[in-house]
Amino acid sequence: MIEDVRIPVTILTGFLGSGKTTLLNRILHEKHGHRIAVIENEFGEVGIDGDLLLQSEEQIVEMNNGCICCTVRDDLVQILKSLPMGADGIERVIIETTGLADPGPVIQTFVADPMIQMSYRLDSMVAMVDAVHAHMQLQEYREAREQIAFADRIFVTKGDLAGQSEVNAVKKMIRDINPRTPVEEAHFGQVPIDRVLDLHGFDLDAILKMEPDFLDDDHHHHHSDISSFVLRERFPLDPEKLEIWLSVLAANFGRDMLRYKGVLNISGNPNRMVFQGVHMLMGATDSVPWQPDEPRDSVLVFIGRNLPHNIFEDGFRKCLA
In the chain, what is the straight-line distance between the N-terminal and C-terminal CA atoms, in Å? 66
**68-90 pLDDT per residue, tens:** 333 445 678 888 888 887 777 88
* pLDDT for 265 beyond 50: yes
**222-249 pLDDT per residue, tens:** 555 677 788 999 999 999 999 999 999 9
Give 3-state DSSP helix, strand, coil % of the chain, rounded to 5. Answer: 35, 25, 40
The stretches of the chain forming alpha helices (DSSP H) are 20-28, 49-52, 73-82, 103-112, 114-119, 134-140, 142-150, 159-162, 164-177, 204-210, 239-253, 309-317
Mean pLDDT of 136-155: 89
CATH code for the domain defined by 227-317: 3.30.1220.10
Percent of the chain with pLDDT over 90: 26
* pLDDT for 257 beyond 80: yes
Buried b (16+ CB within 10 A) or exposed e, 235-259: ebbbbebbeebbeebbeebbeebbb
Cβ atoms 156, 18 nearer than 8 A: no
CATH code for the domain defined by 7-210: 3.40.50.300
Q: Bigger pLDDT: 318 or 215?
A: 318
Number of Cβ within a 10 Å radius of residue 119:
15
Cβ atoms 308, 290 nearer than 8 A: no
**pTM of the predicted model, to two decimals?**
0.74
Percent of the chain with pLDDT over 70: 82
Domain with CATH 3.30.1220.10 in the chain: 227-317
**13-66 pLDDT per residue, tens:** 998 888 888 888 888 777 767 788 888 776 544 444 455 544 444 445 654 444
Q: Indicate the average pLDDT of the chain.
A: 81
Q: Bigger pLDDT: 43 or 210?
A: 210
Domain with CATH 3.40.50.300 in the chain: 7-210
Maximum distance among all Cα pairs of the chain, rounded to whole angstroms:
66
**35: burial class by Cβ within 10 Å (0-12, 13-18, 19+)?**
middle
Residue type present at position 78: Q
